[in-house]
């Protein structure tokens, strides 16, 4: 359908069309993912020179002068056809007056949990980059320690949330009012395992081991004792063992339980990128050609997943600053022990790029629009 701005039409959850650029806003542009999101949207062909509205996070001030996206992210200077793009204080009235139809939220989990219901009640569709709405099982969601002012209302919106992995849920994303963008680690592991686990090819009772390593930007922009240079450089550390908050996404999206999968993240001394090495056992003896066929069939029509011909394996340097997830595998001579390697850029396919991919689906565009 063509793009229409009335709240009644937007509340139906129908896809917006291409008769004019959609009215887009981005809340929380000061972080790494917010900066990448701004870059992608400012040069997106579907926006046709119509820049998004950029909004700060709650409590952020401008110190008496107007803040611009270029001041926050100097690398964005001259992108988007204007000398500068203002970052406005967040105000619901301003969003409504501007006819905003899609709101990206690159905000902390607690902020997204509070603001998303308000946006949806105003007829605004939301793509949330936080973990606030990714998990349907309350037990998995406990890791975020979220507190809802209105638990019944939050529960209703939670049921409506669509997990924003286009390769798994593109049809639901097209008409969704609330898209919960996946976590970066989760994306790398889910895309590696989905073609095999969902087809029932994996001996899940034998156990799946997911060994994942991420660049420092995955921890966010705020400095911590574990992310400053003296700690991270020339180092490699495991963290959040048996307790990383992305584990629930693996369980829910792959229909596994905690006895069937073990995920351990590690901090790499590089700025960006994720490499996940996944160890599993197949139920039946298979040949490499059968594994390749399973991946090729599953990702047919998924332009942002690239498959490596065995025995070639992905590397972080091949996906850094791209919106691709690269997958490859090695099968042991016994035909049962399989290792799958997955690589992506945690700020792009693991965050901002995937969010724009979801927007493309919601707008009725090709999902790779502005991402290649």
Q: Looking at the annotation, which residues are catalytic?
A: 184
Please state, in angstroms and as integers, the Cα–Cα distance from residue 59 to each residue in 63, 71, 72, 114, following that order: 12, 18, 16, 14
Three-state secondary structure readout of 66-118? CEEHHHHCHHHCCCCCCCCCEEECCCHHHHHHCCCCEEEECCCHHHHHHHHHH
260 HSE (CA, 13 A, CB side): 15
User: What is the distance between the alpha carbons of residues 357 and 164, in angstroms, rounded to a whole number?
Assistant: 9
* Cβ density class 79-98: b for 16+ within 10 Å, e for less: bbeeeebbbbebeeeebeee
Nearest to 358 by CA among 206, 165, 200: 165
Residues 188 and 253 sit within 8 Å (Cβ to Cβ): no
């Amino acid at each position: 359908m063509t793009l229409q701005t009335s709240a009644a039409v937007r509340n139906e959850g129908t896809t917006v069309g291409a008769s004019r650029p959609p009215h887009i806003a981005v809340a929380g542009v000061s972080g790494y993912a917010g900066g990448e999101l701004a870059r992608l949207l400012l040069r997106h062909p579907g926006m046709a020179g119509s820049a998004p509205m950029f909004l700060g996070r709650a409590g952020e001030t401008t110190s008496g002068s107007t803040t611009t996206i270029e001041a926050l992210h100097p690398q964005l200077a001259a992108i988007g056809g204007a000398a500068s793009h203002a970052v406005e204080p967040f105000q619901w009235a301003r969003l409504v007056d501007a006819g905003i139809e899609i709101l990206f939220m690159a905000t902390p989990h607690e902020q997204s949990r509070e603001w998303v219901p308000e946006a949806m009640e105003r007829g605004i569709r939301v793509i949330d980059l936080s973990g606030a709405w990714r998990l349907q099982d309350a037990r998995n969601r406990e890791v975020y320690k979220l507190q809802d002012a209105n638990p019944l209302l939050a529960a209703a919106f939670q049921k409506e949330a669509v997990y924003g992995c286009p390769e798994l849920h593109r049809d639901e994303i097209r008409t969704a009012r609330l898209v919960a963008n996946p976590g970066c680690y989760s994306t790398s592991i889910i895309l590696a395992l989905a073609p095999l686990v969902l087809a029932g090819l994996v001996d899940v009772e034998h156990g799946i081991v997911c060994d994942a390593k991420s660049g420092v930007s995955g921890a966010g922009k705020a400095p911590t004792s574990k992310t400053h240079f003296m700690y991270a450089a020339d180092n490699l550390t495991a963290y959040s063992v048996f307790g990383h908050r992305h584990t629930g996404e693996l369980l829910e999206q792959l229909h596994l339980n905690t006895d069937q999968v073990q995920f351990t993240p590690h901090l790499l001394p590089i700025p960006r990128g994720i490499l996940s090495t996944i160890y599993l056992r197949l139920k039946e003896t298979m040949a490499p050609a059968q594994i390749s066929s399973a991946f090729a069939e599953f990702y047919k029509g998924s332009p942002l997943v690239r498959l490596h011909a065995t025995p070639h394996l992905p590397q972080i340097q091949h996906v850094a600053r791209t919106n691709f997830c690269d997958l490859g595998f090695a099968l042991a001579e016994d035909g049962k022990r399989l290792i799958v390697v997955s690589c992506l850029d945690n700020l792009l396919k693991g965050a901002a790029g995937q969010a724009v991919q979801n927007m493309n689906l919601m707008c009725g565009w090709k999902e790779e629009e502005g991402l290649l």
